[in-house]
Amino acid sequence: MNAVYILWKRELLRYFRSRARLAGSLGQPLLFLVALGFGLGPVFQKAGQGNYFEFLAPGVVSMGILFTGIFAGIQVIWDRQFGFLKETLVAPVTRFEIVLGKTLGGATVAFLQGLIVLILTLLIGVKVHSWTLFPFALVAMFLIAVFFTALGITIASLFEDMQGFQLVMNFVVQPTFFLSGALFPLTGLPNFLKIITEVDPLTYGVDAVRGALINQGHFPLSTDIGVMFILSIVVLVIGSYLFSKVEV
C-alpha cells in the first residue's frame, strides 16, 4: 500500500502548490451561495419553506466537492500526455492501487475544498442543527469526494485528449448538480423529475449533508450514506478495470 500513499501525497502536493487553483475553485461555490442564497431567500421564505440560505448551503458545499473531485481526471490525461503516467504504470504495483491512490488523493483535495466552503457558510450564518450529527456530514462529504473523483478518473481513462474529456464532463457535471436537489426541495416534484433525482448519485450526498447539518433530509441518513458508500466501491472497481486497459 506504499504506492497508494505516494500517489495520495503527490495529489495533495499538486493542489497546495497551486494557489490560483485553490482561489479559483472557491469562486463558483461562493457565487452561488451569495447570489442565490440572498437573492432567492425572501421568495423561499414567503413560500413557507424556511431559510433558503441554510437550505442551499449543503448543496453549495457538495457542488464544490463535485467539481474539484470529478476534474481530478484531468490529471490522468495530463500525466498520459507528458509521459508521467507511463512511469506510474510500469511500477510493480497493481492498477487498483494506482486508481485507489489517485482517488484518495483527489478525494482528499475535494474534501478539503468542501470543508473550506462549509466553514465559510458557518461563519456567514448557517447554524448546525445538531453537533452530534455533524460528523455524519463530514462522512457524507468525503464519500461524495471519493465517488466523483473515482468517476472522473474512470472517464478520463477512456480518453487521450482534454477535448473529449471536457465534452463528456459538461454532459455529466451540470445535470448531476442541478438535478440533485442542491437548489430545490425534493418534495412535490413531478413524477419524471422525481425519478431523475432518485437515480442521481449526488442527490444522496447532498441529502446526507443537509440532513446532518440542518435536519432537513429527504431520505433517512443511513440510506444516503449507504448508497454513496456502495456507489463509491462500484465506481472504484469499474475504474480499476478500465484503467487496466489504458495504454501509453
Q: Which residue has the higher pLDDT, 83 or 63?
A: 63
Are 30 and 117 a contacting pair, CB within 8 Å?
yes
pLDDT in tens, 88-121: 666 667 777 878 888 888 899 889 889 988 998 8
Residue 38 has pLDDT above 90, yes or no: no
Residue 142 has pLDDT above 70, yes or no: yes
Helices then strands, counting H and E runs in the chain, come out as 12, 0
Give the percent of the chain with pLDDT over 70: 77
Here the cell at position 124 is 456567514
- The residue behind cell 474512470 is 154
pLDDT (0 to 100) of residue 211: 94
Residue 189 has pLDDT above 70, yes or no: yes
Q: Which residue has the higher pLDDT, 116 or 45?
A: 116
Nearest to 201 by CA among 171, 236, 222, 172: 172
Stretch 178-207: mean pLDDT, rounded? 90
Stretch 42-46: mean pLDDT, rounded? 62
Alpha carbons 47 and 109: distance in angstroms, whole number: 37
Residue 12 has pLDDT above 70, yes or no: no
Residue 200 has pLDDT above 80, yes or no: yes
pLDDT in tens, 19-32: 555 555 666 777 77
pLDDT (0 to 100) of residue 141: 96
Domains of the chain by residue range = 2-243
Nearest to 239 by CA among 119, 114, 101, 120: 101
